[in-house]
Structure 1
Amino acid sequence: MNYQTYFAPHFQSSNQLLSRNDEMVLQLIQQSIQGERNDELFYDFLIKLAPTREEQEIIAGIRDDERKHRSMFKTLYTQLTGMAPKVSDEGTEPLPASYLEGIEKALIGELKAFEKYRKLYLHINPQYRDWIFEIMTDEIKHASYYNWLYAKNK
């Protein structure tokens, strides 16, 4: 792997590569808009399964962050393209059979989201990196909470 290309794609001079990166960034943002909506709906369901008020509040805080992220991604997409993103308010993820299964799925989902957002961070215009950094750090915080909830309920 060429790490200079991976960590500093702006060093590439090919217009074709830049266009491909721009398209990739827009696709990741669109995927993220739907992903954040899926997470929000999924966490609404987990709140209902949570055995304690404390756990409900933790998951509700995470859900509220996902709403914030979705709004940020929609704004970002609009700023980059001049058009509002085409989005669905419907969820596309199956619901878990149990609370513990849901917590495990949420933990893995938050870590995968972090990986996707790290890729976005490395390829997006530097003026937007603070936005992506905020979302990335929230995702790591969420994973930590879900790890604690999983250990507590296992």
Structure 2
Amino acid sequence: MYQTNLQAVLPLLQRAVQGERNDELFYDYLIQNAPSNQDREIITSIRDDERRHRQMFRHMYYALTGQQITESTTGEPFNIPPSYLAGLEKAIFGELSAVELYRKIYFTIPYTVFKNMVFEILTDELKHASKYNFLYAKNK
């Protein structure tokens, strides 16, 4: 079903870079609205991972094309969630959605070194979803 395909993976990498940027901005909002230091620390660590992931995807794109990836400055519009809990819920499903995209990237990107990078990102996203589940349960 999946096979390495450079032309197919390039737009997926672009989506990943933009998605990581949107997540970073959204998590900044959650950090500002977190009710405790523990929540802020957890979300900050996730946000910092998202920044690192974005750089990793940018590196992969450049290594494969010799060109810098162009990022949209608009991205998806940011809608303030009605509550902190609603924001956590959105974050949980956002992380799980990213896993689906990154799984496609994993199967289509060439070269083991890039597959290893994507695997690291994938497992981070699963870890993030678990941390957001913890925060959701703790704050419910």
TM exceeds 0.5?
Answer: yes
- What TM-score do the two structures reach when normalised by structure 1? 0.85
Query: Contact conserved, 2:6 with 2:110, CA < 8 A, in 1?
Result: no
Q: Structure 2, unaligned stretches of length 5 or more?
A: none
Secondary structure of the 1:100 match is helix
Task: Report the aligned-residue RMSD.
Answer: 1.3
Matched AA of 2:12: L
Q: Structure 1, unaligned stretches of length 5 or more?
A: 1-5, 11-20
Match of 1:80? Answer: 64
Identity across the alignment (%): 54
Match of 2:126? Answer: 140
Higher Cα Rg, which structure = 1
Give the C-alpha shift of residue 115 in structure 1: 1.0
**Relative contact order: is structure 1 or structure 2 higher (C-alpha 8 Å, sep ≥ 6)?**
2
Distance in 2 (CA, whole Å) between partners of 1:76 and 1:125 is 10
Match of 1:40? Answer: 24
Distance in 1 (CA, whole Å) between partners of 2:75 and 2:108 is 28
Distance in 2 (CA, whole Å) between partners of 1:82 and 1:88 is 19
Secondary structure of the 2:101 match is helix
Query: Contact conserved, 1:121 with 1:132, CA < 8 A, in 2?
Result: yes
Distance in 2 (CA, whole Å) between partners of 1:89 and 1:67 is 16
